[in-house]
Amino acid sequence: MDIIFLGTNGWYDSPTGNTICTLINSERYHILLDAGNGIHKADRYIKDDLPVFLFLSHFHLDHIEGLHVLNKFRFPGLTILGQKGTSGVLNTIMNEPFTVPLEKLPFSVTIRELSPGPYKLPFPLDCRFLRHASPCMGYRFDLDGKIITYCPDTGPCENAVLLAEDADLLISECAFLPGEESADWPHLSPQAAADIAIQAKAKKLALTHFDAERYQSLQMRQEAAASVQGYQEIIVGQDGLVIRI
């Protein structure tokens, strides 16, 4: 199974990358995590007719601004999943005068709204709300015998640990610099993300959603990850990186 980082920035595009989007290519499904501007590269890695699922964590624009390029794809069909209210939001922004309406895309789109899980979609899924300025859902997938957890915008919270319990890979946000924390604007520093991985006994941690203003270079990402103590298995996300697990 390949995990492909299509966009690894938080907030805005910059020379370090596009806003956040991650693709999981499993044996039977393509799973997109959020729809930042990095989503425009999805067709470099989706070249077959396997079903495509897009999970939205929340509606901050850096997580959905790539939706307006959906009409470049020729998916066999697309299921978009997100928290309650997803239909209303998508039918507003994926519409005139902003972009091509969902029903005019060159493939059929199904929207499914999720309450906190667990679920048995075609694959087992759990989802829980994280700690963020706007309600943000984290996801735990069971695919090809591996557990992959996705915790985008959040501060430290118990639900992130529960979602990541014994995960083979935790994909976590890393908006903050080392040593930074905020009660008003919860996000994670590299150490805070690693502390979740440690508590959850996650086998590997991949950092993404590096705030574009704080992380001005890929070198800064590497140095930040190198500052983490007590956890070794850290992968520093950057656009185009492919992880095989």
By CB under 5 A, name the binding residues for Zn ion.
Answer: 10, 60, 62, 153
Give the strand order in the sheet containing 52-55: 109-114, 78-83, 52-55, 30-33, 21-25, 2-7, 242-244
CB of 175 to Zn ion, least distance (A): 7
**Residue 90's closest CA among 196, 82, 168, 211?**
82
CB of 132 to Zn ion, least distance (A): 6
Give the N- to C-terminal CA distance of the chain in Å, as an integer. 6
CB of 196 to Zn ion, least distance (A): 17
CB of 76 to Zn ion, least distance (A): 29
With respect to Zn ion, which residue has the nearer C-beta, 132 or 204?
Answer: 132
CB of 187 to Zn ion, least distance (A): 8
Torsion angles phi and psi, residue 219, rounded to 5 = -60, -40
Torsion angles phi and psi, residue 179, rounded to 5 = 85, -10
In the chain, the amino acid numbered 215 is Y
With respect to Zn ion, which residue has the nearer C-beta, 67 or 143?
Answer: 67
DSSP 165: T
With respect to Zn ion, which residue has the nearer C-beta, 62 or 239?
Answer: 62
With respect to Zn ion, which residue has the nearer C-beta, 176 or 231?
Answer: 176
With respect to Zn ion, which residue has the nearer C-beta, 147 or 174?
Answer: 174
Helix (H) or strand (E) holding 242: strand 242-244
Name the one residue in this structure whose structure tokens are 């915008």.
153
